[in-house]
Amino acid sequence: MKKQQKLLKKQLQKLQKNNYKILINTKSKRFACFLYYRQGVYMRVIAGKARSISLVTVKGMETRPTTDRIKETLFNMIQYDVPNATFLDLFSGSGAIGIEALSRGAEHAYFVEKNKEAIRCIETNLKKCKLEEDATVMAVDYMNALKQLEREKVTFDLVFMDPPYNHEFEKAVLIFLAKSDLIDKDSTVIVEASLDTRMDYLEELELEVIKEKKYKTNKHIFVRKREKA
């Protein structure tokens, strides 16, 4: 038995070196291992014309994909706003959010991401889902992208952003959007953020939180321009 355990341990170490993550069921007397690439938790399109198509995700921990369960909850909340919408997916990662929007009937989606590997994932996923014609992929920094889109006079119905947590990138975006025609009074900005993210600066920007949905480790904050009295 000890010899078998040593052999299995060596095999697991080899798998870990090859970018596998190992989950071991410690309650069982046997080794029950579930293997998946660190390249991503299995992700798919939840609903719409590209339903059930699996998505490529970015290898490593530089990006943090929104899980299918959270993604499904999010789109249940905005399901009536997505059809025919112009959608902006900032800090896109693998592009899963923007692709879900396109699959559910958004008219056009813009993907903003500066990570080269992530850009390749977005392009691969769009091709797999046959949604390339409805997408614009921008391989630039988020602020340069916003300035370019403003020059092109694009107005978004929905903006989703999932920036690295606790760096206040979302604050920089919201400050820009508050003064921009990229969004109007009917647009919704959705921020995925850590649970301790505060937005007490919104009032001075004439923005307001209209909804907040908390999960175990993060939350979605829904923001709009405040109606002028």
pLDDT digits 0-9 by tens, 86-95: 999 999 999 9
More confident residue, 60 or 110: 110
Per DSSP, helices labelled H in the chain are 2-17, 68-77, 96-103, 116-129, 142-151, 169-178
Confidence tier at 3 by pLDDT (50, 70, 90): low
Task: Give which of 134, 133, 194 is closest to 169, Cα–Cα.
Answer: 194
Backbone angles phi, psi at 212, to 5 degrees: -145, 135
d(CA 20, CA 184): 45
Confidence tier at 66 by pLDDT (50, 70, 90): confident
Q: What is the mean pLDDT of residues 194-217?
A: 96
pLDDT digits 0-9 by tens, 95-136: 999 999 999 999 999 999 999 999 999 999 999 999 999 999
Q: Compute CA distances 220 → 37, 75, 85, 111, 140, whole Å.
A: 27, 11, 19, 19, 24
For Cα atoms 29, 34, 40, give the angle at the middle one, nearest 5 degrees: 155
Rounded to the nearest 10 degrees, the angle between the axes of helix 96-103 and helix 116-129 is: 20
Judged against a pLDDT cut of 50, whether residue 208 lies above it is answered with yes
Task: Give which of 66, 49, 63, 74 is closest to 126, Cα–Cα.
Answer: 49
